[in-house]
């Protein structure tokens, strides 16, 4: 297949992200310098982000049989690149005093971002698999990057082993779909109901794919790895895992069900609904007992992805729009919350400052950091005037529009439970500061790139909560095929 100039313009963000990986590799080869590698990564991702503008002008466009560059993929590419930039900025400060080689972290991060961009553009199982592995494999190294700390090495190995099992389920599901339909294109599965294709094998294949993505999205009952990996991995890696990884996996799963609705039988949608329901309630209930804020946010992720799964069960009306709004608010909020944790942690003084006792009285020592973390907790709880409220409102609207009242009840009940532990964190921040044991929060955080990124995310969370119309309009224009 011959690529035209229009195809190359559409692929420009993806190619620039890949070239960023090469650029970091060359920079490391020429001279091993931490800040140079970080700046090459930041500049490369910024250029890739700007390249979305010309890509938008030629969209929608089917580039090769396996990649679709349209408004939908461009929107999620933008979110992935912004989150990748924020993680890079946080890593630059976090690794600044790391007594080992630091530059390879940016190589892994840039490579993983390239995988995320591939994944959100996939409309074929070949590109889905390549993108998913390109996203996941570098994360093994990122999660275990501070490997001299036993818990970090354990988290990387645990994620690697379980991710391998999930990939095996995905490949088996893809094989069953191909054996049934003779195609790996998402759209090629739309008219199978009118053929003599064996329905059982088709649904079994889709079920295995759902199980695989259940692991990637930390959904119950495939969630057991989540709190341990979040707790043990370095701050920037946890941030990346909670944002870019979840964003890309959910975006491609949504595209699959929107382009091939015939594969989703009533019982399969009911099964996905059950997974969503138990994730909403189970994630919030398990978070109640946590005294480690990274584990708490890990269980919170389970609950939030459960809320988000409602749009796949609905698969109609404003479902795609709701998913975009919710993911945008979730990404900004998680970047801010994990960003504060990263700013007050360092990889050369042991595990991250993640126990809740570390944050007791933080407001009296670091009022701006405590205020930003408070805003993120309120957003995760879905309090009005924050981005989280807008996202949760959209998901509730989708559930009510589709008469999924049992999932609506689950969202409300889960939100009520979650309100307790989010407020618990906020109360600890404002308690008497004499008991706090936070070790490494610096007073000049705002001068660092990581501090600036957290400040920007705080502004975005408030802006989306107060005036969400611009991003809503953009998401509406970026619907699948737009």
Q: How distant, in Å, are the alpha carbons of 95, 106, 397 from that of 101?
A: 9, 11, 49
Structure confidence at residue 462 (pLDDT): 93
DSSP string of 7-36, one letter each residue: HHHHHHHHHHHHHHHHHHHHHHHH---HHH
133-137, 178-182, 428-432: least confident range:
178-182
State phi, psi for 386 to the nearest 5 degrees.
-125, 160
Structure confidence at residue 115 (pLDDT): 93
88-97, 324-333, 446-455: least confident range:
446-455
Q: Check whether 441 has a pLDDT greater than 70.
A: no
Domain limits of the chain? 5-477
Q: Check whether 331 has a pLDDT greater than 90.
A: yes
Q: Which residues contact 403 (CB under 8 A, 6 or more apart)?
A: none
pTM higher than 0.75 = yes
Mean per-residue pLDDT of the chain: 85
Q: How distant, in Å, are the alpha carbons of 6, 69, 80, 124, 390 from that of 62?
A: 11, 6, 21, 11, 32
CB 231 within 8 A of CB 295: yes
Strands (E), 34-128: 61-63, 67-69
Structure confidence at residue 75 (pLDDT): 92
Structure confidence at residue 426 (pLDDT): 92
Q: Give residue 249's pLDDT band: very low, low, confident or very high (50, 70, 90).
A: very high
Q: Give residue 481's pLDDT band: very low, low, confident or very high (50, 70, 90).
A: very low
In terms of pLDDT, which residue wins out, 480 or 38? 38
8-17, 294-303, 448-457: least confident range:
448-457
Mean pLDDT along residues 168-184: 85
Q: Check whether 437 has a pLDDT greater than 70.
A: no
Sequence length of the chain is: 482
Structure confidence at residue 83 (pLDDT): 94
Q: Give residue 98's pLDDT band: very low, low, confident or very high (50, 70, 90).
A: confident
Helix/strand/coil for 64: coil
Mean pLDDT along residues 251-277: 83
DSSP state of 3: P
Give 18-66 pLDDT, tens digit per residue. Answer: 999 999 999 888 888 888 888 999 999 999 999 999 998 887 888 888 8
Helix/strand/coil for 189: helix
Structure confidence at residue 280 (pLDDT): 92
Q: Check whether 114 has a pLDDT greater than 90.
A: yes
Structure confidence at residue 50 (pLDDT): 94
Structure confidence at residue 4 (pLDDT): 82
Written as six digits, the tokens of 379 are 């957003």
Structure confidence at residue 193 (pLDDT): 52
Structure confidence at residue 262 (pLDDT): 67
Q: Check whether 334 has a pLDDT greater than 50.
A: yes
Mean pLDDT along residues 383-397: 90
Q: Check whether 342 has a pLDDT greater than 90.
A: no
């Amino acid at each position: 297949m011959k690529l035209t100039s229009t195809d190359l313009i559409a692929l420009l963000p993806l190619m620039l992200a890949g070239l960023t990986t090469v650029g970091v590799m060359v920079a490391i080869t020429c001279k091993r310098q931490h800040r140079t590698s970080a700046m090459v990564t930041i500049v490369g991702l910024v250029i890739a982000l700007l390249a979305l503008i010309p890509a938008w002008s030629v969209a929608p466009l089917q580039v090769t049989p396996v990649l679709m560059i349209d408004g939908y993929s461009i929107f999620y590419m933008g979110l992935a690149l912004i989150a990748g930039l924020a993680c890079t900025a946080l890593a630059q400060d976090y690794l600044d005093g790391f007594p080992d080689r630091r530059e390879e972290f940016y190589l892994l991060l840039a490579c993983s971002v390239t995988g995320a961009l591939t994944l959100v553009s996939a409309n074929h199982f070949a590109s889905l698999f390549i993108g998913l592995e390109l996203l996941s494999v570098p994360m093994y190294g990122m999660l275990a990057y501070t490997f001299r700390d036993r818990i970090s090495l354990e988290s990387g190995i645990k994620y690697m082993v379980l991710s391998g099992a999930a990939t095996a389920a995905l490949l088996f599901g893809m094989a069953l779909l191909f054996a049934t339909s003779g195609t790996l294109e998402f759209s090629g599965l739309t008219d199978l109901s009118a053929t003599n294709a064996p329905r059982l094998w088709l649904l079994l294949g889709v079920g295995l794919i759902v199980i695989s993505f259940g692991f990637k999205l930390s959904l119950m009952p495939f969630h057991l790895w989540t709190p341990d990996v979040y707790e043990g991995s370095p701050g920037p890696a946890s941030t990346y895992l909670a944002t870019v990884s979840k964003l890309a996996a959910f975006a491609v799963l949504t595209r699959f069900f929107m382009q091939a609705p015939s594969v989703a039988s009533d019982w399969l949608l009911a099964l996905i609904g059950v997974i969503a329901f138990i994730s909403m309630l189970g994630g919030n209930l398990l978070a109640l007992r946590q005294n480690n804020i990274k584990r708490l946010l890990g269980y919170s992720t389970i609950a939030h992805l459960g809320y988000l799964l409602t749009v796949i069960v609905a698969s109609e009306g404003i479902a795609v729009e709701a998913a975009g709004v919710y993911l945008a608010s979730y990404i900004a909020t998680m970047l801010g919350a994990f960003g504060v944790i990263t700013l007050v942690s360092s990889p050369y003084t042991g595990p991250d400052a993640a126990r809740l006792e570390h944050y007791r009285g933080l407001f009296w020592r670091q009022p701006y950091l405590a205020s930003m973390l408070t805003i993120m907790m309120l957003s995760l709880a879905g309090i009005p005037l924050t981005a989280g409220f807008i996202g949760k409102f959209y998901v509730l609207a989708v559930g009510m529009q589709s008469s999924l009242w049992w999932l609506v009840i689950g969202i409300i009940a889960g939100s009520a439970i979650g309100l307790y532990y989010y407020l618990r964190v906020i109360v600890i921040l404002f308690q008497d500061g004499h008991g706090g044991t936070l070790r490494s929060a610096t007073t000049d955080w705002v001068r660092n790139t990581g501090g600036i990124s957290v400040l920007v995310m705080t502004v975005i969370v408030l802006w989306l909560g107060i005036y969400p119309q611009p991003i809503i309009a953009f998401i509406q224009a970026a619907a699948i095929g737009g």
